[in-house]
C-alpha cells in the first residue's frame, strides 16, 4: 500500500527532518478528487487517489520528492491549466523532446494527459503520464516542463516512485542544505546526496532509471579493460577512467565538438545516446553510428563526411545538422520518418527535390543555397521555421501555402515583392534587411518580432521602436 510506504518514509526521517511530516496537508475530499478528474477529463490512477486521500499535497518548503513538493489538487489543476492553454501553440517544440528509455514517453513538448504531482516553481513538473509511448505504461511517473527536454521514466507507477524515495532514504542517500546563513531562521532543503545536485530534476540524469529496472550483466560483455586499452589516447581521454560498457550504454548526451577525433568507432558502445555533437572534427566515416538506434539529435557540422547512408538505421532521428560539409546526397533521409529539423547550409546539395521529399520537416535551414527554383517548397506544409538567408530565391509567393510558418529569415535575398508576408497569419518572427522592413512596415501586422540583418541608423532604430510599440 502506498500509505505504508509514505509512513515508513516519515518514520525514517522523523528525527532528522520533522518538517516533512508537519508540512503534509489533511486529506483531500472526494469532491476535490472528482473535480480534478472532471476538469482534466482524465481518470486518476487508484494509487494517486489513495495518496490524495491521505494528504492533499503539502504546504511549506519541505519537499517530499527530494526538495520538490507534493502539490495539492488545487495546485495540480492550476499547473494542468497552464499546459492546456499552451498546447495548441507548441507543436514545433516536439522535436526537442527525448524519451528515456526510448519509446516509453511520447516525444511531445506538451501532453494534456499528464497529471502534475509536483513542480519546481520554474515551469517544470513531475507527473503521472496517462498517455505513454508504445513501450511505456499508463500511470508511469515522469519529468516534464520548460527546461526538461529529456524526459525520464522515473518509475513505472506512483507506488514505484514512492518506493524510489524510500529506497534512497533507507540507503542514506539524502542530505540537507540550509537556505541561508542561520539554520534556526531559514528552512532546509531536502536533497539527494548522490548524484551531486541542487535540484532533483537535475539528479535524474545521473540515476539508473526507471527505478527497479535491471542493468545488463557485465559478464555478458567482452573484457572492458582490454577494449579500453586498445583505444587511442584521444579516445581514452574522452571516455576517462572508471567506466564500463554498461555505463557507456547509459550515457544520453555527449559533446565532442573540436576534440580532434579522426574516427568514431568507440561510439558504437554508446548505445543509449540520444544527442551527439561531432561538430568540427576531421572525421570522414560515420558507419559506427548505425548502432545508435535511439539517437534523436546529431550534429555533423564542419566535418569531412561525404556519405550519410549509415543514418538509414537511425529511425528515431529528429534533428540533423550537416552544415559546412561536402555532403551532396540527402536521399537516405527519406528513410527517417521522424526527422523534423534539418540544416544543410554550406553543403554540396544541389537537388532541392531531395529536400522537398522530406514533407514531415518542421524546421529547415537553407542558408546560402543556390537552387534553380524554390517554388516546390510549398509542399513542406509542416514547416514552422524556414531560413532562406543569402539564397537566390527571387519570389516568395509559395509561402502562402505554408500556413504553419511562424519564423522566417530572409537576409540577403533578391526578393523584391514582399507582399506575401502580409498574408502570413501565423508569422511571429521575421528576420530581414532594414530596407525590406521599410518596404512593408506600414502594412505589416503588429506583434511580429523583427530582427534586422546588419547595422541600422538612429532614424531606422526609431522606426523599429515605433513598430514594436504597436504590439
**pLDDT per residue as tens digits for the range 134-173:** 999 999 999 999 989 889 999 999 999 999 999 999 999 9
pTM for the full predicted model: 0.67
- The per-residue pLDDT of the chain, averaged, comes to 91
Burial letters for 184-213: b for 16+ Cβ neighbours within 10 Å, e otherwise? eeeebbbbbeeeebebbbebbeebebbbee
Return the C-alpha cell found at 109: 513538448
Radius of gyration of the chain (CA): 26
Alpha-carbon span 341 to 92, nearest angstrom = 10
pLDDT (average), residues 414-428: 94
Query: Where does the pLDDT of residue 265 fall: very low under 50, low under 70, confident under 90, or very high at 90 and above?
Result: very high
Strands 385-387 and 363-365: parallel
Q: For residue 217, how many other CB atoms are within 10 A of its CB?
A: 8
Quote the strand ranges of 270-368, DSSP E.
275-277, 297-299, 319-321, 341-343, 363-365
Report how far apart, in Å, the C-alpha atoms of 77 and of each of 86, 143, 357, 387 are: 14, 17, 43, 39
Supply the CATH classification number for the domain 230-469: 3.80.10.10
pLDDT of residue 99: 86
Q: 248 versus 102: which is more confidently predicted?
A: 248
pLDDT score of 180 = 57
Domain boundaries, the chain: 2-206, 230-469
> 42, 141, 144, 139: which is closest to 94 by C-alpha?
144
In the chain, the percentage of residues whose pLDDT exceeds 70 is 96
Q: What does the alpha-carbon distance between residue 133 and residue 52 come to, in Å, rounded to a whole number? A: 26
Grid coordinates standing for 316? 528515431
Percent of the chain whose pLDDT exceeds 90: 76
Architecture of domain 2-206: 3-Layer(aba) Sandwich (3.40)
Q: What is the pLDDT of residue 370?
A: 96
* 3-state helix/strand/coil string of 247-273: HHHHCCEEECCCCCCCCCHHHHHCCCC
With b for 16 or more beta-carbon neighbours within 10 A and e for fewer, the 375-411 pattern comes to bebebbebbbbbbbbbbbbeebebbeebeebbbbbbb
Most confident of 37-46, 170-179, 247-256: 37-46
Q: Which residues pair with 385 in a beta bridge?
A: 363, 407
Q: Please report how the helices 30-40 and 46-54 are oriented relative to each other, as an axis angle in degrees rounded to 10.
A: 140
The residue among 23, 40, 24 whose CA lies nearest residue 32 is 40
Residue 221 has pLDDT above 90, yes or no: no
- Tell me which long-range contacts 30-39 makes (C-beta under 8 A, separation of at least 24): 32/56, 32/73, 32/74, 33/73, 35/73, 35/77, 36/73, 36/76, 36/77, 36/115, 39/77, 39/80, 39/81
Amino acid at each position: 500500500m502506498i500509505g505504508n510506504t509514505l509512513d515508513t518514509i516519515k518514520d525514517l526521517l522523523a528525527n532528522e527532518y520533522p518538517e516533512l511530516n508537519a508540512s503534509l496537508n489533511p486529506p483531500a475530499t472526494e469532491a476535490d478528487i472528482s473535480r480534478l478528474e472532471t476538469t482534466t477529463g482524465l481518470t486518476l490512477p487508484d494509487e494517486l487517489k489513495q495518496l490524495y486521500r491521505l494528504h492533499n499535497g503539502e504546504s511549506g518548503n519541505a519537499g517530499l520528492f527530494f526538495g520538490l513538493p507534493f502539490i495539492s489538487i488545487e495546485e495540480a489543476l492550476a499547473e494542468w491549466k497552464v499546459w492546456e492553454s499552451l498546447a495548441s501553440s507548441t507543436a514545433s517544440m516536439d522535436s526537442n523532446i527525448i524519451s528515456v528509455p526510448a519509446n516509453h514517453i511520447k516525444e511531445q513538448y506538451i501532453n494534456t494527459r499528464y497529471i502534475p504531482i509536483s513542480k519546481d516553481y520554474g515551469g517544470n513538473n513531475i507527473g503521472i503520464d496517462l498517455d505513454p509511448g508504445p513501450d511505456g505504461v499508463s500511470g508511469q511517473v515522469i519529468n516534464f516542463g520548460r527546461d526538461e527536454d529529456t524526459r525520464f521514466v522515473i518509475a513505472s507507477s506512483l507506488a514505484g516512485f514512492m518506493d524510489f524515495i524510500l529506497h534512497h532514504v533507507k540507503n542514506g542517500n539524502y542530505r540537507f542544505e540550509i537556505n541561508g546563513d542561520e539554520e534556526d531562521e531559514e528552512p532546509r532543503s531536502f536533497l539527494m546526496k548522490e548524484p551531486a545536485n541542487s535540484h532533483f530534476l537535475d539528479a535524474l540524469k545521473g540515476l539508473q532509471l526507471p527505478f527497479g529496472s535491471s542493468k545488463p550483466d557485465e559478464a555478458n560483455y567482452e573484457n572492458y579493460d582490454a577494449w579500453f586499452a586498445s583505444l587511442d589516447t584521444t579516445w581514452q581521454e574522452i571516455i576517462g577512467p572508471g567506466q564500463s560498457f554498461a555505463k557507456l550504454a547509459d550515457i544520453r548526451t555527449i559533446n565532442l565538438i573540436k576534440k580532434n577525433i579522426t574516427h568514431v568507432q568507440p561510439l558504437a558502445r554508446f548505445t543509449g545516446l540520444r544527442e551527439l555533437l561531432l561538430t568540427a572534427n576531421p572525421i570522414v566515416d560515420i558507419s559506427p553510428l548505425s548502432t545508435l538506434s535511439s539517437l534523436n539529435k546529431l550534429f555533423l557540422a564542419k566535418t569531412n563526411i561525404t556519405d550519410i547512408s549509415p543514418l538509414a538505421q537511425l529511425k528515431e532521428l529528429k534533428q540533423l545538422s550537416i552544415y559546412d560539409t561536402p555532403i551532396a546526397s540527402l536521399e537516405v533521409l527519406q528513410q527517417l520518418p521522424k526527422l523534423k529539423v534539418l540544416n544543410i547550409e554550406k553543403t554540396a546539395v544541389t537537388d532541392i527535390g531531395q529536400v522537398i521529399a522530406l514533407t514531415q520537416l518542421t524546421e529547415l535551414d537553407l542558408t546560402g543555397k543556390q537552387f534553380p527554383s524554390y517554388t516546390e517548397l510549398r509542399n513542406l506544409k509542416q514547416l514552422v521555421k524556414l531560413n532562406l538567408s543569402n539564397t537566390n530565391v527571387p519570389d516568395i509567393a509559395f509561402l502562402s501555402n505554408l500556413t504553419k510558418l511562424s519564423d522566417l529569415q530572409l537576409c540577403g535575398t533578391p526578393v523584391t515583392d514582399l507582399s506575401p508576408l502580409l498574408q502570413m497569419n501565423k508569422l511571429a518572427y521575421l528576420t530581414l534587411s532594414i530596407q525590406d522592413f521599410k518596404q512593408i512596415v506600414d502594412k505589416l501586422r503588429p506583434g511580429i518580432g523583427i530582427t534586422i540583418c546588419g547595422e541600422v541608423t538612429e532614424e531606422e532604430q526609431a522606426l523599429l521602436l515605433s513598430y514594436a510599440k504597436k504590439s
